[in-house]
Structure 1
């Protein structure tokens, strides 16, 4: 075994190893070939049986066509008989005349022609609209033409206007005239040829027992046949309990009533495979259906199939045993390399594959080890650079609370000590302390939106105290977004820009509206002011890819009521242009003036760094004065969730 291991496991290529394994499994194609051969044989037998059964059904269909033709011929005799026309034209209520004429008519015509078609078993019923009524072999109380007119098929008979209409079980009131529970009828209107007036209704009825005789002798062992009318109702069957049932709920019903005049297919009936053949009777719209068990047809094939399966099972076990030995030898180095890759996938970059060899797998293991080493070095380098960048980023943000801001705030507090109540002074000092504590702390750059809004409220409270009555800030934040996270000090630069570049240069007081909401899996913040805005300039592309653009907003000032309504308010239009049309994952930022550059570029760069293409930033000028900033970033609570955005 050691020689085999040395020359087979280490020296041969993977392709050669797989080729030897496939040769050992050559029995599988042979088994597949046997299976396909048996399947083809089964289908051939099924096809031949179906064709033979269709021939038999065709003969039954011809018999039913002859029956329909003879019944039509009999109806023509009645339809054109002058004596019958006279009876139907006799005055209403002349019972004595009608009885005498009916007796003569039965003797002269009905009995005579009935024995002319001795092979048929049918019963005739005639209903005159003048009250005349005649039934062969029935002389009890009248049924009445009004009872017939109430049947659902009667309007169709009138519409036929003398043409043939076939119906199954048309009226339970006629059962005494037939002495059977189920029957079919050929019916037509009787008319006066001189004025085309309808005189009555002719019904020639055939019992189900006669229909069953037409195909009973053609049924073989375990077979069963059904006769369906044009609506899928069973009008004849060996099992009389099925009479009157509908086949419409069967999954193959559409196949039976389709355009094909004949055909066959396979189905399962109560878990047993059946060959279903059908043939239509064109003149009546009926369909004769035959169910033949496939296990009866394929009895000999099934026996040969068992022999084939036994041989195949033996060869399969033999091939599996041989293949197992070879595959085990092949899979050892591959599995080792696979396990090493799984450990790398779980984050362990210290793993190295111990697979040795001169074939493709050995070379792959060596390349894998070199690749993991490079990835580990790059990871350490990226971690170091990201940590340095994060520290620099936080330092830049924290430097925004500069000495000039502190000096002005403390000077404002000093002046307020003289002019304002101590409660107001105390609230400003508390806000300053909270703001400095949050801003200067070394905690993670990700904080809850609730904390970011609270920091922003402290900052705004200080600015409102410094600006006195000149500045008014309104918050409209959906509390549902508070638990989600954002970047620390993401909103403050935009509010600061709105105060110093929008409200302070403006004559008179100004308003800033800060609105936050969640829409389609993203967090939205809108910061709108009614300050001086930025000049209308053509779109440009200054350093950093930042652009200036003019909003399509309606001119006018920003009222607090308009601003509070959010992005769809008439005074603060926020449209789909916040995100570029056709690609809503591209970052887009527009500055209101070069003077506002550093703080806003910082916001833009941070969003690009942390959110990638899943975020958007846009600044727009309002023609009537004012600026609006719209920020969008993905919804997340933990930083790990950003990997899926």
Structure 2
């Protein structure tokens, strides 16, 4: 596939144009589908929110009716008289119970109405309450709701002779004397949760979704099905439902769902509905199928047209390609006759100009090759001088040995090795063993110049011998120690060269027991090493000793980075130590 694409211009143009045509078609289809999907989702959300508003109106009416009923009950003279008497009145008790039974029977959503006396009289109720979860609930919410205020309870269970065990939530409010406003009792009107559940079922919410009535603390009060959510259970992840109404996206069992919520004006409780996202996609299957068919047909038609036009356009280029394949590179390139003035004709005209240019370049290349051979001969001749120098030094070395002048022979031999390594055929890198040998040759030469002036010792880790490093780093440091530290010493000094392996780095140090460096001069020397402008010579301590300290410092930074420069420590009159650290190179130069 890759070879076919590279060899054929027709295939490239066909593929690129097909991509250029089909990509907008696909993008149009995707955008159309997204618009349809978003529109369906918007309609579904608006429909769901309208449903929540309708259910909210019914529930709000129910709550308002219960609140109005509570005010009506509190204002009854017989109720006030029964609660405000000094002793029990069974006639009023029976009359009030009958009143409550008639009132509760007219409201199917009323489970029971209970009035308790502050004086301990028998409680008034439309039914016999065998067990009620209200007292325990009041005790647990004593800090949040005072007995002197009206409040709606969370769900709890009541057991009565009429309904058995029933799930309810209640409006609880104090009863006060109408003339003295002192508290004489308490009224609780319990709403039957199954009746509220039937109201939610009649709302016509989507069968795949869920709807809940939750209180202000997020506890489930009612749902269309008892299996959907347990009464009193706190729904997870609804703390963000802080506005009066809104839409959010939640995840349930790994699937994305749309959550709608609406706040009841009377209580502040919320109706929460969940619509699975798969409902939207299911409704968009028809649009998706239609869009796919339309894009597929358009893509096939566009592909056929592209292939036809590409073939028509590239046919002249194919003919030219076949003709150019028969050309012999060793023979002069023949010109091609130009018959048209379009892009193909301009291409042929440029080809003819290019063939003339190629012919001239071939002639020029032949001339350059001749000049290069001449330059190689001159370079070979230039190498005669170093070889002549090595041969001459070798002759002097052997003459000294023949004359039994061993010191002269050693000095000449060391000088020959020193010069040979310094030239090193122009190479920048060398083995650590070669660098150490070069430094030792230099010390042999200097010990002959300054006899009995210093002793030297090398401490090099044997594991470093085959490692690769930048050449001519140790010799300038040794020269600096001899010329500026040991030579000025009145007695005999010592010179030490250290080399050790530190992880993936090599550490070198040159230390002498010479005159040392004063603190002021040491600061100037360190500033001089890191000066931004290039210096022609080291003016502090290096003098004119070849590379000099600054030269070595700059070479280290250029080859190994800014952290590989020289480090200088000195104690005046005691010692001077110059060190550096370089990374280990994997390949030898």
TM range (shorter): 0.5 to 0.7
Of the structure 1 ranges 113-122 and 466-475, higher mean CA displacement relative to structure 2 is found in: 466-475
Secondary structure of 1:168's match? coil
In 1, are the aligned partners of 2:569 and 2:578 still within 8 Å (CA)?
Answer: no
State the distance in 2 between where 1:162 and 1:25 align: 76
- Within 5 Å, which residues of 2 pair with 1:208-219? 208-219=193-204
Distance 1:26 1:66 in 2: 60
- Residues 518-568 of structure 1 deviation map (CA, whole Å, 9 limit, x = unaligned): 79x9877777778522684699xxxxxxxx55579xxxxxxxxxxxxxxxx
Aligned to 1:287: 270
The question of 1:62 aligning with 2:53 is answered no
Query: Normalising by structure 2, what TM-score?
Result: 0.57
Q: Distance in 1 between matches of 2:576 and 2:440?
A: 22
In the alignment, which of 290, 297, 321 is matched to residue 307 of structure 1? 290
- Provide Cα deviations, 1:254-287, integer angstroms capped at 9, x if missing partner: 6xx3444223466776687755433222544433
- Kept in 1, the 8 Å contact 2:154–2:215? The answer is yes
- Structure 1 distance, partners of 2:508, 2:83, is 91
Q: How does 1:254-333 map to 2 (within 5 A)?
A: 257-264=240-247, 276-292=259-275, 302-323=285-306
Rounded Cα–Cα distance in structure 2 between residues aligned with 1:200 and 1:452 = 109
SS in 1 for 2:516: coil
Match of 1:236 in 2: 222
Q: 2:541 aligns with which of 564, 580, 593?
A: 593
Q: 1:438/1:298 Cα in 2 relative to 1: closer, same or farther (>3 Å)? A: closer
Asked whether 1:156 is paired with 2:144, we answer yes
Change (3 A) 1:276 1:314: same
Query: 1:239 offset after TM fit, Å?
Result: 3.5
Output aligned runs, 1:95-174, within 5 Å.
Answer: 108=96, 112=100, 115=103, 118=107, 120-123=109-112, 136=125, 137-140=127-130, 147-148=136-137, 151=140, 153-157=141-145, 162-163=148-149, 166=152, 168-169=154-155, 174=157
- TM-score where L is the length of structure 1: 0.53
Contact 2:118-2:184 within 8 A present in 1 as well: yes
**Aligned-pair CA distance for 1:52:** 2.9
- Call closer, same or farther: CA 1:551–1:86 in 2, change over 3 Å: farther
Preserved contact between residue 476 and residue 515 of structure 1 (Cα < 8 Å): yes
Deviation at 1:219, TM superposition (A): 1.6
Aligned to 1:353: none
| Residue in 2 that maps onto 1:497 | 480
> Are 1:222 and 2:210 an aligned pair?
no
What is the rounded CA distance, in whole Å, between the counterparts of 2:108 and 2:348 in structure 1? 87
Counterpart CA distance in 2 for 1:314 and 1:115 is 71
> Is the contact made by 1:529 and 1:627 (CA closer than 8 Å) also made in structure 2?
yes
Matched, 1:637 2:559: no
User: Per-residue CA shift, 1:141-162, capped at 9, x if unaligned?
Assistant: 78796x55774x543335xx75
Counterpart-to-counterpart distance in 2, 1:69 and 1:138:
26
Seen in structure 2, the aligned counterparts of structure 1 residues 634 and 185 have a Cα distance that, compared at 3 Å, is farther
Q: Distance in 2 between matches of 1:108 and 1:287?
A: 35
Q: Which has the larger radius of gyration?
A: 2
Q: Does 1:248 align with 2:248?
A: no
Structure 1, residues 381-426: CA drift from partner, whole Å, max 9, x if none? 9xx99xx9xxx9xx9xxx9xx99xx9xxxxxxx99xxxxxxxxxxx
Unaligned runs of 5+ in 2: 1-8, 318-335, 337-343, 398-405, 408-416
Alignment deviations for residues 189-229 of structure 1 (CA, whole Å, 9 cap, x no partner): 89999999999987654443132123221124535332233
- Could you tell me how far apart the structure 2 residues matched to 1:88 and 1:590 are? 115
Q: Could you tell me whether the CA contact under 8 Å between 2:79 and 2:96 is conserved in 1?
A: no
How much has 1:240 moved relative to structure 2? Answer: 1.9
Residues 1:27 and 1:461: Cα distance change in structure 2 (over 3 Å): closer
> Once superposed, what is the RMSD of the aligned Cα atoms?
7.1
> Secondary structure at the residue paired with 1:235?
strand
Contact 1:182–1:207, Cα closer than 8 Å, also in 2: yes
User: 1:341 maps to which residue?
Assistant: none
Q: Distance in 1 between matches of 2:167 and 2:566?
A: 81
Does residue 1:532 correspond to 2:516, yes or no? yes
The answer to whether the 8 Å contact 2:248/2:259 transfers is yes
C-alpha distance in 2 between matches for 1:108 and 1:297: 56
Residues 467 and 31 of structure 1, relative CA distance in 2, 3 Å threshold? same
CA pair 311-616 structure 1, distance change in 2 beyond 3 A:
same
| Aligned equivalents of 2:251, 2:348: Cα separation in 1 | 51
Q: Per-residue displacement from partner, 1:454-482 (whole Å, max 9, x unpaired)?
A: 87998999999x999988999899x9x99
Give the 3 Å change call, closer, same or farther, for CA 162–619 of structure 1 in structure 2. same
Check conservation: 1:123, 1:135, Cα contact below 8 A. Answer: no
Distance 2:434 2:568 in 1: 23
Kept in 1: contact 2:499–2:509 (CA 8 A): yes
Whole-Å Cα distance in 2 between the matches of residues 443 and 128 of structure 1?
114
CA distance in 2, matches of 1:528, 1:89: 111
- Residue 552 of structure 2: aligned partner: 603
Alpha-carbon distance between aligned partners in 1 of 2:83 and 2:480, rounded to the nearest angstrom: 104
Check conservation: 2:525, 2:541, Cα contact below 8 A. Answer: no
Distance 1:78 1:34, change over 3 A: same
CA separation of 1:58 and 1:105: change in aligned 2, threshold 3 A: farther
Aligned-pair CA distance for 1:78: 8.8
Q: 1:306 Cα shift?
A: 1.7
Equivalent residues in 2 for 1:480-491, closer than 5 Å:
486-491=469-474
Cα 1:194–1:595 shift into 2, 3 Å: farther
Shift of 1:76: 6.7
Matched-pair contact (CA < 8 Å) for 1:621–1:628? yes
